[in-house]
Amino acid sequence: MNDICIDNGRVLLGGEILEASLRTANGEIDAVGSARRGLFCIDARGLLVLPGIVDLHGDAFERQMMPRPGVDFPIDVALIDSDRQAIGNGITTVFHAATWSWEPGLRSADNARELLQGIEGLRPRLAADTRFHLRHETYNLDAETEICQWLSDGRIDLLAFNDHMNSIVRNAEKPQKRAQMVERCGVSNDEFDGLVARIASRGHEVPESIERLAGVARTANARMLSHDDATPAMRRAFRARGVGIAEFPVNEETAREAARGGDFIVLGAPNVVRGGSHTGWTKASDMIAKGLCSILASDYYYPAQLLAAFRLAADGVLPLARAWDLISAAPAKAAGLDDRGILAEGRRADIVLVDDANPLRPRIIAVIAAGRLAHLTDAGRLIQPSAAPRKAVAAA
């Protein structure tokens, strides 16, 4: 379906929500405010018409890969199911955040390679624009050469620098956390202890490896993120390497340093929906109110971005138009995708139609991805090309 008219919706245009119609053609928004002219139409009366959601960091696909510890499913099955979930929650551009660690198991080299190959092979079949966000554990020094090659070949869309070594060492002393890590790795307790000790002993090599990788990423024009920055000094050091996205800074002081430096600041949408972090860290809604968050990511739960935007509006933290920027325009800009994130002529036709009759439980009615109708929950809103104008459809 290349030509679609979205008729008489409440459309987010230029920071305002206005009554208007949209027309798409050849995967782009062809006109704003135009009549149907015999096109395939969707009756959007009573609905919000919003830009498609851009998710910079989502790892919920891991549950499709390994729904239970030690239970694996094929990568293609996992990706196709994850695509359905993303589109069904209004996410039209998704960066699968794949962790490549020194650990065996779910976050191993083999899984990272298979996931990348799976995304590349399945991309034409997936409704969402699906991209590869590599979360590189900085102690995974043996992976550096291969990652540099992937960057040079243009296969990595986002590169994040992660360092979970200190938390792994701490959690190894906590029986429940330790059991989870050992089970995820698929090794014995003794093997796990030996592996951690061996990897930690190479800590002195990590800074130079980060420097080299960042240099290759800059040359390849790949956007970079630093994960869990703990101090302003850490954020400044990453910024000096061209890492312009601060992902989940762990305290307000570090977030303020990111804001002063003009960096994008990513926090988790589930934090907003749940009213706080499940780890006890920074409360995202407070940070947003202070202007210390520019992007919300799905993190581990695909419905969270949609719910978070409406929660922010309902709680009076931000008007909906600004809250929506956190999940669409801003992440698109951070990723260098200047063809999406707003509804305007010539932009990619990624469009979400939302029933907001219950503001805290917004309901996706339709999703258009690159001009194609990818998801529809109410067939009664379809208008045949020759049909006469219909009366407004009552919200369910």
Identify the band that residue 35 occupies on the pLDDT scale cut at 50, 70 and 90. Answer: low
Are 161 and 268 found together in one domain?
A: yes
Are 162 and 218 found together in one domain?
A: yes
pLDDT for residue 388 = 45
Q: Tens digits of per-residue pLDDT, 277-311?
A: 766 677 899 999 999 999 999 999 999 999 999 99
**Averaged over 366-371, what is the pLDDT?**
97
% of the chain residues with pLDDT over 90: 76
**142 lies in some domain:** yes
Q: Are 152 and 216 in contact (CB under 8 A)?
A: yes
The pTM of the full predicted model, rounded to 2 decimals, is: 0.91
User: Of 316, 334, 352, which residue is a domain's last?
Assistant: 334
> How far apart (Å, rounded) are the C-alpha atoms in residues 191 and 127?
42
% of the chain residues with pLDDT over 70: 94
Are 266 and 329 found together in one domain?
A: yes
pLDDT for residue 200 = 87
DSSP β-ladder status, 363-369 and 351-355: antiparallel
Domain with 15 in it: 4-51+341-383
Are 30 and 62 found together in one domain?
A: no
Identify the band that residue 393 occupies on the pLDDT scale cut at 50, 70 and 90. Answer: very low
Q: Tens digits of per-residue pLDDT, 167-212?
A: 777 767 778 777 877 777 777 888 887 888 888 899 999 999 999 9
Residue 60 or 165, more confident: 60
**Averaged over 347-376, what is the pLDDT?**
97
Total domains in the chain come to 2
CA distances from 126 to 256, 295, 385 (A): 38, 24, 27
Mind spelling out the 3-state secondary structure of 164-187? Answer: CHHHHHHHCCCHHHHHHHHHHHCC
Give me 126's structure tokens.
């997936």
Contacts of 355 (CB under 8 A, 6+ apart): 46, 47, 48, 362, 363, 364, 365, 395, 396
Q: Say whether 126 sits in a helix, a strand or coil.
A: coil
Mean pLDDT of the chain: 91
pLDDT for residue 64 = 85
